[in-house]
Amino acid sequence: MTTITAEIEEPPSERPPASTFRERIWEVLKPTQEQWDDWKWHFRNRFNTVDKLARVMPLTEMQRKQLQLVSGKYPFSITPYYLSLVRKDDPTDPILAQSLPSFDELLHAEITQEDPLHEKDDSPVVGLVHRYPDRALFVITDICPLLCRHCTRKREWDGGWWIRQKPQLEAGIAYLRRTPAIRDVIISGGDPLTVDNDGLEWILQQLRSIPHLEMIRFGTRFPVVLPQRIDEGFTRICDKYGPIWLNTHFNHPNEVTPEAGRAVRELLRAGVPVNNQTVLLRGINDTVETQLKLSHELLKNRVRPYYLFHADEVRGTEHLRTPVETGIKIIEGMRGHTSGLGVPTFVVDVPGGGGKIPLQPNYVLSWTEDEMMLRNYAGRIFHYRNPRPAKAKQLPVVVAA
Ligand SMILES: *Cc1c(COP(=O)(O)O)cnc(C)c1O
């Protein structure tokens, strides 16, 4: 008699390849498991100097010099967890490309945009960006555990690291309170989850006391770069002051690890829907294949791909930007070819405070009052009748009884 169990194969490991930096980091930093599971330990031990990095990563003299030079202008910070995902001996590793300074950051001096998204102009009070009619961005800190090389707010990296103090937070909250048009507030940064749970609870409590605020969202990359942060205290306050939404920022399938999966599971358990905002990055995730894989990994974890952003025009990031067409081609390669739930909206956030503008592949070949000629995902052409409302009928006269 055959048993069924013999036929069940082990599912393929979800872990990044075994040849990662993980063992090396453990050898050097010697954390206990308890420390490794503690986000504050990672924060304290983040790699932010060339000397610290050289302890776990072989660097040539030339690389050291370049790192010193670039980080003099654009500093770096990489959590032990995130660095542990880097594959050994792969100079094109997508984790490294997002976190390790590159000499290219000093090129392209022609890009002079200081505040390409005009966030300062759209701020009625310090720290609050009110650009769209019914929603606002609340910037509560400029600290991040990991400094993404493609950061939109790279210009602010030399501003000294701060967490907004109560008087300024109160001014933002007062603005939200007296502006009933705002029904959706996004708590952002920096990374807002660098603020501890007590601080976040105070903010959530204040925001929840504003009756017209229907939605509160967090914009945070912690589930990706330091998933240990999603602890019991955090999910408890999300549950208590919910409904809360959370948007995170996975850029590559190698980031979707068991640890990140656990963080997402805990959030979902606390009733927090998790959506993903990816930035399209040259050499990192600029192919249909990588984006499909990322979407599938996210969907397996019940994370919904929300936006695919064209990388903003920011000084020090030009080498990571692709032509706009790359994004449109990626969407074209996804739509219809995979679950619709896995297809993000591709958007360009235009300089000058215009906000996010969605860009789509063109499926409309011609369009008249009577008919549209449409193309489907596979290139087949269809005629679709365009209904016109019939002429208004004479209403029957109702005679009162
Ligand atoms: C992106 C953004 C929002 C939120 O936009 P959604 O399309 O609702 O996700 C709100 N305010 C600002 C300033 C933004 O940049």
- Structure confidence by residue, pLDDT tens digits, 270-313: 999 999 999 999 999 999 999 999 999 999 999 999 999 999 99
Ligand 1: residue of 123, 125, 128, 131 to mutate (most ligand atoms within 8 A of CB) is: 131
pLDDT for residue 2 is more than 50: no
Question: 221 catalytic, yes or no?
Answer: no
Neighbour-count burial of 197, counting CB atoms closer than 10 A to its CB (0-12 exposed, 13-18 middle, 19+ buried):
middle
Question: 135 catalytic, yes or no?
Answer: yes
Q: Which of these three, 56, 87, 106, is where a domain ends?
A: 106
In terms of domains, do 141 and 252 share one? yes
Q: What are phi and psi for residue 191, nearest 5 degrees?
A: -115, 115
In terms of domains, do 231 and 328 share one? yes
In terms of domains, do 124 and 218 share one? yes
Residue 304 placed within a domain: yes
The closest of 128, 208, 119 to 171, measured between CA atoms, is 128
In terms of domains, do 232 and 313 share one? yes
In terms of domains, do 140 and 101 share one? no
Question: 144 catalytic, yes or no?
Answer: yes
- Per the listing, tokens 């660095």 go with 83
Neighbour-count burial of 72, counting CB atoms closer than 10 A to its CB (0-12 exposed, 13-18 middle, 19+ buried):
exposed
In terms of domains, do 97 and 164 share one? no
Neighbour-count burial of 37, counting CB atoms closer than 10 A to its CB (0-12 exposed, 13-18 middle, 19+ buried):
middle
Band (357; pLDDT cuts 50, 70, 90): very high
Question: 151 catalytic, yes or no?
Answer: yes
359-393 residues labelled b (16+ CB within 10 A) or e (exposed): bebeeeeeeeeeeeeeeeeeeeeeeeeeeeeeeee
In terms of domains, do 213 and 300 share one? yes
In terms of domains, do 190 and 325 share one? yes
pLDDT for 396:
66
Q: Which whole-number Å values give the CA distances from 171 to 138, 187, 290, 371, in the listed order?
A: 11, 15, 43, 54
CATH number at residue 244: 3.20.20.70
In terms of domains, do 307 and 173 share one? yes
Question: 148 catalytic, yes or no?
Answer: yes
Residue 112 three-state SS:
coil
Residue 369 placed within a domain: no
Residue nearest to atom 7 of ligand 1 (CA): 356
The CA dihedral of 180, 353, 123, 106, to the nearest 10 degrees, is 150
- Catalytic member of 93, 175, 312, 315: 312
What pTM did the predictor assign? 0.92
Percent of the chain with pLDDT over 90: 85
Whole-angstrom distance, CA of residue 267 vs CA of residue 193: 13
Using the atom order of ligand 1, give the atom closest to the CA of residue 247: 9
Residue 367 placed within a domain: no
Ligand 1 midpoint to CA 152 (Å): 14
Calculate mean pLDDT across residues 155-184.
Answer: 95
pLDDT for 3:
39
CB atoms within 10 A of CB 5: 6
pLDDT for residue 109 is more than 70: yes
Q: Which of these three, 57, 81, 106, is where a domain ends?
A: 106
For residue 133, say if its preceding peptide bond is cis, omega within 30 degrees of 0: no
Q: Which whole-number Å values give the CA distances from 256 to 303, 317, 340, in the listed order?
A: 10, 24, 20
- CA contacts within 13 A on the Cβ side of 205: 8
Residue 243 placed within a domain: yes
Using the atom order of ligand 1, give the atom closest to the CA of residue 117: 15
Ligand 1: residue of 137, 183, 307 to mutate (most ligand atoms within 8 A of CB) is: 137
Residue 216 three-state SS:
strand
Using the atom order of ligand 1, give the atom closest to the CA of residue 137: 11
Whole-angstrom distance, CA of residue 380 vs CA of residue 386: 19
The CA dihedral of 333, 337, 341, 342, to the nearest 10 degrees, is -50
Band (263; pLDDT cuts 50, 70, 90): very high
Ligand 1 midpoint to CA 263 (Å): 24
Residues whose beta carbon lies within 6 Å of some atom of ligand 1: 129, 131-132, 135, 137, 186, 356
Write down the H helix ranges in 3-108.
Answer: 22-29, 33-36, 39-44, 50-56, 61-73, 80-83, 94-99
Residue 396 placed within a domain: no
Band (9; pLDDT cuts 50, 70, 90): very low
Is the sign of the CA dihedral 164, 168, 174, 179 positive or negative?
Answer: negative
Using the atom order of ligand 1, give the atom closest to the CA of residue 307: 9
326 is written with which tokens?
A: 């790359």
In terms of domains, do 310 and 177 share one? yes
The beta-carbon contacts of 27-32 under 8 Å, at least 24 apart in sequence, are 28/55, 28/56, 29/80, 31/80
pLDDT for 215:
97
Whole-angstrom distance, CA of residue 353 vs CA of residue 345: 19
For residue 190, say if its preceding peptide bond is cis, omega within 30 degrees of 0: yes
Using the atom order of ligand 1, give the atom closest to the CA of residue 136: 11
Residue 389 placed within a domain: no
**What is the DSSP annotation of 280-297?**
E-TTTS-SHHHHHHHHHH
pLDDT for 250:
98
Residue 374 placed within a domain: no
What is the domain extent for residue 98? 21-106
pLDDT for 12:
46
Band (1; pLDDT cuts 50, 70, 90): very low
- Catalytic member of 177, 183, 356, 375: 356
Question: 356 catalytic, yes or no?
Answer: yes
Tell me how many domains the chain contains: 2
Query: pLDDT digit string (tens) for 363-397?
Result: 999 999 999 999 999 999 999 999 987 766 666 66
Question: 132 catalytic, yes or no?
Answer: yes
Ligand 1 midpoint to CA 185 (Å): 9
Ligand 1: residue of 129, 130, 135 to mutate (most ligand atoms within 8 A of CB) is: 135
Calculate mean pLDDT across residues 6-29.
Answer: 67
Residue 314 placed within a domain: yes
In terms of domains, do 100 and 140 share one? no
Whole-angstrom distance, CA of residue 240 vs CA of residue 399: 57
In terms of domains, do 39 and 188 share one? no
Whole-angstrom distance, CA of residue 113 vs CA of residue 292: 32
pLDDT for 89:
82
Decide which of 155 and 166 is more confident.
166
The closest of 79, 13, 82 to 258, measured between CA atoms, is 13
